[in-house]
Amino acid sequence: IQALLYRLSGDYNPLHSDPMVAQVAGFTRPILHGLCTLGFAARAVIKSFCNGDPAAVRNIFGRFLLHVYPGETLVTEMWVDGQRVQYQTKAKERDRAVLSGYVLLKHIPSSL
């Protein structure tokens, strides 16, 4: 359902919804939109470092490293580096990094 929901972002690439197209592209099945993967990582950082307030974010940067299949468990590791929260997201089932980057905060909460 996630892959079909993210079509609403305007990305209608059949790689995310059509098993035949995904197979021709070299995948065993359709892959998740990168925007969805980035959204999960950003949400984890915002929940952990911004008390759930997205207004505390100045900028988000991500580098896609590997595809994600719908249904995989995403685990995001994060750490503070100045005004940045560095993160790395892994597909748990494959133990592979799929995304890395940072979230630049407007300010670092004093409780860190």
Q: How many domains does the chain have?
A: 1
Domain assignment present for residue 112? The answer is no
Q: Tell me what the pLDDT averaged over the chain comes to.
A: 92
The catalytic residue among 1, 10, 11, 52 is 11
Domain assignment present for residue 44? The answer is yes
Domain assignment present for residue 70? The answer is yes
For strands 84-91 and 74-81, give the pairing: antiparallel
Domain assignment present for residue 31? The answer is yes
Q: 48 near 41, Cβ under 8 Å?
A: no
The catalytic residue among 18, 34, 39, 108 is 34
* 60 noted as active-site residue: no
Domain assignment present for residue 39? The answer is yes
Domain span at residue 22 reads 2-105
Domain assignment present for residue 61? The answer is yes
Three-state SS sequence of 4-70: HHHHHHCCCCHHHCCHHHHHHCCCCCCCCCHHHHHHHHHHHHHHHHCCCCHHHEEEEEEEECCCCCC
Domain assignment present for residue 111? The answer is no
User: Which value, to the nearest 10 degrees, does the dihedral of the CA atoms of residues 97, 103, 109, 112 take?
Assistant: 30
Domain assignment present for residue 34? The answer is yes
CB atoms within 10 A of CB 52: 10
Reading the block at residue 45, the tokens are 């950082």
Rounded Cα gap, residues 87 and 61, in angstroms: 10
The catalytic residue among 1, 10, 16, 46 is 16
Residue 112 has pLDDT above 60, yes or no: no
Residue 100 has pLDDT above 80, yes or no: yes
* 16 noted as active-site residue: yes
Q: Give 8-54 pLDDT, tens digit per residue.
A: 888 889 999 999 999 999 999 999 999 999 999 999 999 999 999 99
The catalytic residue among 31, 60, 62, 67 is 31
| CATH number of the CATH domain containing 101 | 3.10.129.10
